[in-house]
Amino acid sequence: MQVWNDYLSQNKQRFLDELLDLLRIPSVSADSKYKNDVARCAEAVKENLLKAGCDKAEICPTEGHPIVYGEKIIDASLPTVLVYGHYDVQPADPLELWHSGPFEPVIKDGKIFARGACDDKGQMFMHVKALEVMVKTNTLACNVKFMIEGEEEVGSSNLGKFLASNVEKLKADIVLVSDTSMISMEHPSLETGLRGLAYMEVEVTGPNRDLHSGVYGGAVANPINILCKMIASLHDENNHITIPGFYDKVDNLSDADRTALNAAPFNQKEYNEDLGVKSEWGEKGYTTLERTGTRPTLDVNGIWGGYIGEGAKTVLPSKANAKISMRLVPHQSSEEISAMFQKHFESIAPDYVQVKVTAHHGGEPVVTPTDSVAYQAAAKAIKESFGKDPIPTRGGGSIPIIALFEKTLGLKTVLMGFGLDNDNIHSPNEKYDVANYYKGIETIPYFHKYFAEMSK
């Protein structure tokens, strides 16, 4: 609508500057040394919500990092949109690979470079600015509630409790989330599903102390060698995961589903070139889009053991550790899979080592219905701002909280993400295109408009 575009163009620079201020706060939730910065960031989000037109905004303490809640209620008879997002970010390391400071945002070639630029400060903040646009132009069509958490990157461990004890306060008709990506500006898309997550940490202990690899080598199990053997055994020659029962609940896609899924524009050659790999890797019998969208995975996210400093040390270490996560697809339960992994990993441990398996956060996979009013409203909003219908896709990432919304609040979710796969989220040089940021702010009001109209 003209009035929106006018307001947006009059405030373009400020909208950008306010986001950059937020990106300057190193709100890394995984690392306790950033605790105060995370708290500072929550405060900033609250202030921005009030500034944008919320009648009320508050910091809700949890056992971990706080949740920011805000609301703008205009008419009880109108539908209510609950906007979910997160203000915490992934750790920035490896720092040496960043071209500019992860928390000193710079704009280069129309891209905002900073940790959190896309995931999720940039995308979350579009909703704050969109609210301002609608409030200041008196065009708000729905009641709006904001729930912006600070623990998404560490498993939203305290959000479930918050939901359960605030069912009334969070009452809404739909959850709207921008924390995913679309194919491209030329091919806008809407995600209709997300993978779940089970994240484990393992420790393999051999001898009770570090040993001299010359004096003991060859006569004592080396925990690093053993851990490598154990990890290697978790995939078979077709890159299927070997954990017994792992695939029991995984749906086999219908030919129709596969055709639809693979209809999305995708070029394997460009994909490989972008990643700098000679060839792709994955579960035999599936395409890349199927592998990332519809198949479960097992990846080692981190491994360490022995001497990793400069030079050479001839040590036969006492311990070796790894962080191993699995992406889950519909019907797989994070808890079940975590238990399966633990049981299996313990069962394959030879008796000359000891293993300890612990579970980090997990999350359930979700599928969002395309026939719902909310999805249709989102599709129409995108058609309005992009000039073409969105392509329904399946995302490979996880937003553990989505399943909880349905379970605890009985709410469906619309995943209206404006990120791009090459935004380097969770990587050095994370970026978010300025154009996508503005496009999001332009699109969101249409969602509220159509959701209100179509809900009548």
Region 60-119 residues binding a second copy, contact defined as CB under 8 A = 90-91, 93-94, 97
DSSP string, 371-437: TSHHHHHHHHHHHHHHSSPPEEEE-SS--THHHHIIIII---EEE---EEGGG-TTSTT-EEEHHHH
Report residue 219: phi and psi, to 5°: -120, -5
154 binds a second copy per the rule CB under 8 A: yes
Residue 364: how many other CB atoms lie within 10 Å: 25
Q: How many CA atoms lie within 13 A of 173 on its CB side?
A: 20
Which of 187/323 has CB closer to a second copy? 323
Nearest approach, Cβ of 419 to a second copy (angstroms)? 9
Q: Which stretch binds a second copy (CB under 8 A): 62-70, 195-203, 367-375, 433-441?
A: 195-203
Q: 412 with 205: CB under 8 angstroms?
A: no
List of residues 6+ apart from 95 with CB closer than 8 A = 102, 428
Which of 5/184 has CB closer to a second copy? 184
Member of 148, 320, 377, 415 binding a second copy (CB under 8 A) = 320
Q: 58 with 70: CB under 8 angstroms?
A: yes
Residue 247: how many other CB atoms lie within 10 Å: 14
Nearest approach, Cβ of 174 to a second copy (angstroms)? 23
- 326-365: which residues touch a second copy (CB under 8 A)? 327, 350-353, 360-361
- What is the spatial distance between Cα 148 and Cα 154, in angstroms, rounded to a whole number? 14
Window 113-152: contact mask with a second copy (x via CB under 8 A): ----------------------------------------
Member of 221, 250, 339, 348 binding a second copy (CB under 8 A) = 221
Nearest approach, Cβ of 263 to a second copy (angstroms)? 18
- What is the spatial distance between Cα 60 and Cα 125, in angstroms, rounded to a whole number? 19
Member of 36, 100, 233, 259 binding a second copy (CB under 8 A) = 233
- 275-304: which residues touch a second copy (CB under 8 A)? 275-283, 288, 291-292, 295-304
Nearest approach, Cβ of 111 to a second copy (angstroms)? 15
- 243-282: which residues touch a second copy (CB under 8 A)? 275-282
DSSP 8-state secondary structure symbol assigned to residue 250: P
187 binds a second copy per the rule CB under 8 A: no
Q: Is 49 helix (H, G, I), strand (E, B) or coil?
A: helix
Which of 165/242 has CB closer to a second copy? 242
